[in-house]
Amino acid sequence: MGSEQAQGPVWARETAERRPKLTREAIVRAAIGIADAEGIEAVSIRRIAAELGARAMSLYTHIERKEDLLDLMADEVNAEILVREDLPADWRAAISVVVRHTRDGIRRHPWLVDLVASRPQVGPNGLRHGEQSLAALSGLPIAPEWKWRIIAAVDDYALGFVIRETLRGEGRSGYTWTPQEREALMRPYLRELLDSGEFPNLAPLLGEITSGPSDADEDFERGLRWMLDGIAKELDL
C-alpha cells in the first residue's frame, strides 16, 4: 500500500471499477449514516461492510485507510454546506447566508465537530466553501487577510454555537436524554445551589435557564448580528 505522500490526498486518487453496489460514494454515504445515528466512534470498515452486505477487505479497494474515509465524510458534508443560490450583494447578508448553511450542516452531522478539531478541511468541497465565503466578502475594500479573519471569526462562531447546541442535545441523533429529560433531572440540583446564596451573580441567570428553553435560532441570529456589528464598526464598513 503506497504512502499518502506518494499517491497524493485521497480526493485526487482514482479507484478501480468494481461491482456497482460497492463504490466509494456508497461507502461514504453508509459511513455518514452510521455517524449521524451513533457518532463518529461507531464508524469502522467492518461496520460499513456489514451495512453494505460486503466483505470488509473489499472496501479497501476503494478506501485505503480509515483516515481517508474520515476526510471523504467531512468533504461530503462540506458539499451540503455550500450555498446553491446566488449570494446577496450586501456583504453582511451574503456571509450570513453562508454561516447559516454552515450551522445547519453541522447540526445535521454533529460528528463533524470532532473532525474539524483534528483534521484540516482541505478537500475540494472544503476549498469551495472557503472560496464561497471569500466571494461573499469580495466587494469589501479591505485586504485579503482581513477577509480571511472575518471568515475565521464567523466560522468559529457557528462552530462554537453548534457545540453548545450539541451539548444541550439539540439537533443530535442518538443522544441519551432529550433536553427536557436532562432539564428535569438537573432542576432540583440547580435549585439547591441557587438557594444556597453562594452564587449571587449566577442565580438570576440560572433561574432564567431553568425556567424554560430559549429559542436557539433567535439566539444564533442575535449573536451573529452582534459579531457583524462589531466587525463593521472596527473596519469602518
CA 94/CA 85 separation, integer angstroms: 11
Which residues have CB under 8 Å from 203's CB, separation 6+? 194
Grid coordinates representing 16 are 478501480
C-beta of residue 35 within 8 angstroms of C-beta of residue 109:
yes
Domain boundaries, the chain: 4-77, 82-235
Question: Position of cell 458534508?
Answer: 77
CA 46/CA 30 separation, integer angstroms: 12
Residue by residue, pLDDT tens for the chain (237 residues) are: 555 555 667 666 665 544 456 899 999 999 999 999 998 999 999 999 999 888 888 888 888 888 889 999 999 999 999 999 999 999 999 999 999 999 999 999 989 888 877 777 678 999 999 999 999 999 999 999 999 999 999 999 998 998 888 776 654 544 555 666 766 777 788 778 778 888 888 777 766 654 455 688 999 999 999 999 999 999 988
Q: What is the pLDDT of residue 42?
A: 92
Domain 82-235 classified CATH 1.10.357.10? Answer: yes
pTM: 0.76
* DSSP secondary structure letter of residue 73: H
Which residues have CB under 8 Å from 207's CB, separation 6+? 194
* DSSP secondary structure letter of residue 123: S
CA 78/CA 129 separation, integer angstroms: 7
Torsion of CA 68, 74, 75, 79, to 10 degrees: 160
Grid coordinates representing 19 are 461491482
Q: Between 1.10.10.60, 3.40.50.300, 3.40.50.720, 2.60.120.1570, what CATH number should domain 4-77 receive?
A: 1.10.10.60
Which residues have CB under 8 Å from 161's CB, separation 6+? 103, 219, 220, 223
HSE-CB of 93 using CA atoms within 13 angstroms: 5
- Mark 133-147 as b/e (b = at least 16 C-beta within 10 Å): bbebbeeeeeeeeeb
* DSSP secondary structure letter of residue 66: H
Q: What is the pLDDT of residue 59?
A: 86
Grid coordinates representing 192 are 439547591
